Amino acid sequence: MNALKNQSLIVFILLIIGLVIIMLGAIELLTFLNTKPEAPAATKTPTTQTQINTVSFPRQIRDAIGNSLTIPAPPQRIVSQTLGSDEILLTLAPPSRLVAISTLSRNANYSNVVEKAQTIKGQVSDNVEHILSFNPDLIFVASYSRAETVELLQALGAPVFRLHRFQSIADINNNIQTIGYAIGEEERAAALIAQMEQDIKMIRANIPHGLPPRIISYTSDNYTAGSHTTFDDMVHIVGAINLATEQGIEQHVKINSEQILAWQPDFIITHAAPGEFAKVRVKILQMPAIAASDAGKKGQIIVIDNRHFMSVSHYIIYGIKALFEGLYLVND
């Protein structure tokens, strides 16, 4: 009898220990998911320029289509013409090295660096004369920048570098690495990439067992995202299935909402500006086909902040966190 009691006591103790471990893991996960979108601790903006790698200058960088640029010394008058490069540069380098950044950097609906952007006086769009007025020693543009602007800058011999790919997390990491190398901050770039990889690893480790949720992105203007998009990468990271990719859709394509009704996703994912989540959610649910779908009837519409859903910088990690939380932790 005593042996039976002892065995029951041991089982009870083991159960208690197991519950404690589960609770600690849940607390750690919730703390991780609720972390505010700030630069990782390992990549805080330096207060001086003494940490710049000056040993290996001059150095050469080459873009995806073979154009090369020689950088003679660590650039001190950087111009960034796109929001993605704004966000990366303001994480890797002190604001004193940036003379102008994109106008979009101060738009709170899309930018993750509004406060930091206020410290940079110069703002640029696609006006070549205005860009060159800052006497830049390095200009970052993108594949989606106005072609005429980039071509004219190149023809005038301006030190311009074009970032080409923005279709995956790997592309984002490569852009961070490239920018870090170009400005002599490769160690900070490596630390930022390592932080992203660690965050992704933790998300994947906490994916629940069971059938993966079948999801689709859908905007109020009828666009979805298939393969070769950052959204598709986000879906894979959180252990879900992107129905648009499953249906053979590539990149961003406009589809009829009736397709949503036919494909019956478990969740519909959309995005909105801060403060507009409820409005966008209602607008999506007012579409008859969406309202008639299983996801619509269950209210399984996940709205993600524009700044994180559409990001082509390291801030996309917060969009991944929001998607994970909406799929597995939030019960509407």
pLDDT tens string 195-241: 999 999 999 999 999 999 999 999 999 999 999 999 999 999 999 99
When the pLDDT of each residue in the chain is averaged and rounded to a whole number, the result is 89
pTM value is 0.85
Which positions ≥6 away from 78 have C-beta within 8 Å?
Answer: 89, 93, 97, 98, 99, 136, 137, 138, 139, 140, 183
- Domain limits of the chain? 41-199, 208-328
Kindly indicate the confidence band of residue 330, based on its pLDDT and cuts at 50, 70 and 90.
Answer: confident
329 pLDDT higher than 60: yes
Q: In this predicted model, what pLDDT tens digit does every residue of 179-196 receive, in sequence order?
A: 999 999 999 999 999 999
pLDDT average, residue stretch 9-37: 58
Between CA 63 and CA 78 the distance in angstroms is 18
Residue 180, CA atoms < 13 Å, CB-side half-sphere:
22
For 72-105, write each residue's pLDDT tens digit: 999 999 999 999 999 999 999 999 999 999 999 9
Please write the tens of the pLDDT for every residue from 305-316: 999 999 999 999
- State which fold the 41-199 domain adopts: Rossmann fold (3.40.50)
Kindly report, residue by residue over 94-137, the tens digit of the pLDDT: 999 999 999 999 999 999 999 999 999 999 999 999 999 999 99
- Would you state the pLDDT for residue 244? 98
273-325 pLDDT, tens per residue?
Answer: 999 999 999 999 999 999 999 999 999 999 999 999 999 999 999 999 999 99
Residue range 208-328 forms a domain whose CATH class is alpha beta
With a CB cutoff of 8 Å and minimum separation 6, the contacts of 258 are: 289
CA distance 331 to 204: 20
**In which band, very low, low, confident or very high, does the pLDDT at 31 lie, cut at 50, 70 and 90?**
low
CA-CA distance, 108 to 54, in Å (whole number)? 35
